[in-house]
Structure 1
């Protein structure tokens, strides 16, 4: 919801029906990337390199989903300042953080209602991902569960301009699709506005129209290959598609202008990267904000102006650009290198007067903090100190972005952490980190796992293998039907690159990852035992058929899109499953798993542990109660990373 309140809604529904869908426009991907000379990868010379304990790394707090709750002095954010992710108020004046709400469970994605005194946020229970919407009064601290539905998940809420209605996405526990629903906060009356019938599709509300008669929303699929912007009348009439459309077009609205006549959005087509655009509801005309080979976000209107701020992701490093509507040009904001992202994805990052932008900044060696950018002085400043001064990023291993060829010549981008003061004598152990998804991307964020491992003498590489986002749709779809094939080759090619730097001993290479990264870990140990000498599997996948039968419904649709029908393509499921090659595993394996994981259930981990035990392999497993897909409780985060570090110390550094 925007920070200002438009005075009128000039567009009638009949005019929108006259729109002729445009074509999505974007640069062909993946972008050109020159290959990196391995011998140019260097180790920093530091007089006092820092080797932080795992506890010290977690003293750097995480915070996200921040929104302004006044005119520029106080923000409300989700943060793990003293344990679980709860809501905290942070003052830029330097006053200490104050808890807004406390719970042992996660509290996520706060949005402010127009009075800024009431907040709506999401919470689940024990990692089950069945979220309820909670109304919080910031003045009294009183809270009310607006949905109270243990077997229905409600997420992504936005409020109407009069503060009376909420719109949100809603999914039953046994469903793979999200409906669009609205709720009257005062009466508690709830109704489904749009009932989605297609498996794997989701409705996401963006903003109410100023007259309160309609809702701007997106309809998109789980693979992010089909997305349409929709205007949804609140009287129950049929939704109306607007903007770019067509086969393979993914168009997503992000904001509505103050006047209610323009939409900020992004769109991509087949073989095209996402590109930020501006849609006029008066004429249907589309203006693309910047020509670039890199993917962009939809962005936010600057209150009181026609300008738009949007993000661009250049191979895992994100910058913020400002589109000047009067000049029809976009320029990057002068921000520090690394990851610069809007503070919230659900509410405008600007103050009401448009003078200040709130964003998050972090980098591979720099912990996350909130920053502001002044639209007046055109300068950025850090406004929080979420990490202790002793955790000096200048004394930690830094990330280096590299590009190398895979087995078939496909260019792969990766981040590398080289320990300081490392001799180029070919004796260092290394760890390959595989990200989840696979439709995800490793980016230049503060990576505790990589820092903990690299600061102890391991070279770490985190590749964006085929199937990753950020390099065009062809690259993103390049592992469909070939899971554990070309993407695993990309990881192995990363090992070859590390060896070519002259730092790494090929016999001392480990692999780790979570979710799909856990799958690639087990697949790597099984199919390339000559490459990987140790592994850590965090909530990974053993067998695609058993996963399909036990995972939650949305992921079932996702798996079918990656591997096809499980009956027709049974051979492909078998070929892509680590269980097929389990007899080949010789290396020791550590398994870390949440008891309540609904995506990759505990049964995948227990079956893997049992089969390795039957074969007399070295395997250890830890199962965390009250945890789901990933670990949200501080004690479990510290315990799991401590075990990872100790595991690689024992299994790789002890190698002859």
Structure 2
């Protein structure tokens, strides 16, 4: 089979991400790794002039958004060190490119959410433990720069200041039901925390950006069984729903146009994303004239006359568009970069559904190699996504293209626990990690076996984070199913993960309890659903990859499983392979790291599958 996509060329394709329109609406800032690592750029939307602002000061891996100051003179971004996610805030002067480190607790994670009209930053931070809301004053002395606004025991996140800066929106949970979230309003001095939005206890109800009138805010709720978008009048509690209650699509609110006429939203249907505009006066929906694909991004520009979008398909890389709302047409602001590659060599991802064990169907995206000879039998891989509250979209997937180009059939399923398919599907693996979601993975392997081009004896599984958890667990719970397994920054011991997260990422230990319940009350479940418990049952050959700086799924998750194998008399090299990356955390963050991972996977699958 001819390889059309050179590994280094594919891994080196640059990424443009985290685009944000300035408050004036005349500029955008964004991260791009055109130099080989991420840097911050600014571009004038009228003249097209683009400038690189940072030179090595930007984060190696983009894990947090940035914000503009009110006067657009500064950008505030977060950066960690080699993936340790101890996010520290930095101030960047747009005119000069000068970067200044702001005061930081070495153990905290600081994420800028908004800027007050007087220049103070609204920050979601783990200073003091659980994620809570803080104010940071860049002009104050370091020892008095921080002010705590909330001290909630559960994860608490601020969205934005009101236009006059007197109030802010906050989402948190004061219910014993850990799945529950509600919307709150808070005075800018930290007083008057008041719940303003709850559709029902147990649903995920949240508040977002303010309407320019300062009286209404965007809200979302999944109480109907899928994500809905609405407008809440803060002082009365009255909600005007924009998404139909009978509409089983998922929608997420974005931003308001400067004149307040439009609220943008993203509609998630069958693993696609489509921008939708809602008229805040009439409630009427407006769709945009875009080709079929995934168009994400809902930021208004140039006085609200344009909408900034990123557009992609399974065979076209993301490009940045500027959509003209008056004339219903768009221009390409930043074209997709293909380097030396020919886009015609990419294979289309097929949207499929396959039956699982209880009669339901699992949605998935299937990639088949282009040049398979008639009658040729190919190896196949099940790729499990992270989260699990995440999903595969029908956008460009460089990893799937890379593997398909090397002769592998790749199935990317949205198993139980995935988002985008309603509350019932998302919550179907609560307190059941490694249960029916694992059966969905096994059914995916069974589906691959039915394809005429697949060799049923050459099946593998891989994935990162929760996908790594499933790669560990499937290999020991379904020991006859897969020939190889590749857990990447995976989870092998649930109890150990919770203990570690409780110390260094308490918001994740909270999330974990919403997923799997209390570790004491459900101790036997946690033990049974930990791959390390069943390490002796491993038959597949396994290749573990993990970053030593990973705080989400710490390195002891991989080391613990490796040590369990060694204790069983297994030999590294013969029975399994193992690699640690001292310059990475929760996955590769730069082109060099991606290239290294691609090369290791290509070599491993060529030898073992």
Corresponding residue number in structure 2 for 1:63: 16
Deviation at 1:221, TM superposition (A): 9.3
Out of 479, 486, 491, the residue aligned to residue 441 of structure 2 is 491
Which moved further from structure 2: 368-377 or 237-246?
A: 237-246
Out of 311, 314, 330, the residue aligned to residue 361 of structure 1 is 311
- 1:423-462 equivalences in 2 (<5 Å): 425=375, 427-462=377-412
Corresponding residue number in structure 2 for 1:128: 84
Structure 2 residue matching 1:172: 3-state secondary structure:
coil
Corresponding residue number in structure 1 for 2:518: 565
CA 1:253–1:335 in structure 2 vs 1: closer, same or farther (change >3 Å)? farther
Structure 2 residue matching 1:144: 3-state secondary structure:
strand
The separation in 2 between residues aligned to 1:96 and 1:187, in whole angstroms, is: 32
- 1:607-626 equivalences in 2 (<5 Å): 607-613=560-566, 614-616=569-571, 618-626=575-583
Corresponding residue number in structure 2 for 1:398: 348
Corresponding residue number in structure 1 for 2:209: 255
Deviation at 1:378, TM superposition (A): 0.9
**Long gaps (5+) in structure 2:** none
Q: Is the 8 A contact 2:23 2:70 kept in 1?
A: no
Corresponding residue number in structure 2 for 1:246: 200
Deviation at 1:71, TM superposition (A): 5.8
- 1:480-629 equivalences in 2 (<5 Å): 480-551=430-501, 552=504, 553-613=506-566, 614-616=569-571, 618-629=575-586
Which moved further from structure 2: 509-518 or 526-535?
A: 526-535
Corresponding residue number in structure 1 for 2:300: 350
Q: Is the 8 A contact 1:429 1:509 kept in 2?
A: yes
The separation in 2 between residues aligned to 1:183 and 1:72, in whole angstroms, is: 25
CA 1:160–1:224 in structure 2 vs 1: closer, same or farther (change >3 Å)? farther
CA 1:235–1:579 in structure 2 vs 1: closer, same or farther (change >3 Å)? closer
Structure 2 residue matching 1:498: 3-state secondary structure:
helix
Q: Is the 8 A contact 1:207 1:216 kept in 2?
A: yes
The separation in 2 between residues aligned to 1:363 and 1:285, in whole angstroms, is: 39
Deviation at 1:265, TM superposition (A): 1.9
Q: Is the 8 A contact 2:416 2:425 kept in 1?
A: yes
CA 1:120–1:219 in structure 2 vs 1: closer, same or farther (change >3 Å)? same
Structure 2 residue matching 1:126: 3-state secondary structure:
coil
The separation in 1 between residues aligned to 2:213 and 2:44, in whole angstroms, is: 31
Q: Tell me the TM-score normalized by structure 2.
A: 0.91
Q: Is the 8 A contact 1:121 1:134 kept in 2?
A: yes
Deviation at 1:609, TM superposition (A): 2.1
CA 1:366–1:554 in structure 2 vs 1: closer, same or farther (change >3 Å)? same
Q: Are 2:191 and 1:234 aligned?
A: no
Corresponding residue number in structure 1 for 2:266: 311
Structure 2 residue matching 1:350: 3-state secondary structure:
strand
Corresponding residue number in structure 2 for 1:52: 5
Out of 145, 164, 174, the residue aligned to residue 101 of structure 2 is 145
Q: Deviations over 1:470-489 (max 9, x none)?
A: 12222222112221121111
Corresponding residue number in structure 2 for 1:648: 605
Q: Is the 8 A contact 1:66 1:110 kept in 2?
A: no
Corresponding residue number in structure 2 for 1:419: 369
Corresponding residue number in structure 1 for 2:279: 324
CA 1:225–1:151 in structure 2 vs 1: closer, same or farther (change >3 Å)? same
Corresponding residue number in structure 1 for 2:38: 85
Q: Is the 8 A contact 2:251 2:267 kept in 1?
A: yes
Corresponding residue number in structure 2 for 1:218: 171
Q: Is the 8 A contact 1:78 1:109 kept in 2?
A: no
Q: Is the 8 A contact 2:137 2:146 kept in 1?
A: no
Deviation at 1:357, TM superposition (A): 0.8
Which moved further from structure 2: 454-463 or 568-577?
A: 568-577
Q: Is the 8 A contact 1:228 1:241 kept in 2?
A: yes
The separation in 2 between residues aligned to 1:409 and 1:546, in whole angstroms, is: 35
Out of 122, 145, 156, the residue aligned to residue 190 of structure 1 is 145
The separation in 2 between residues aligned to 1:252 and 1:328, in whole angstroms, is: 20
The separation in 2 between residues aligned to 1:185 and 1:103, in whole angstroms, is: 18
The separation in 2 between residues aligned to 1:49 and 1:284, in whole angstroms, is: 62
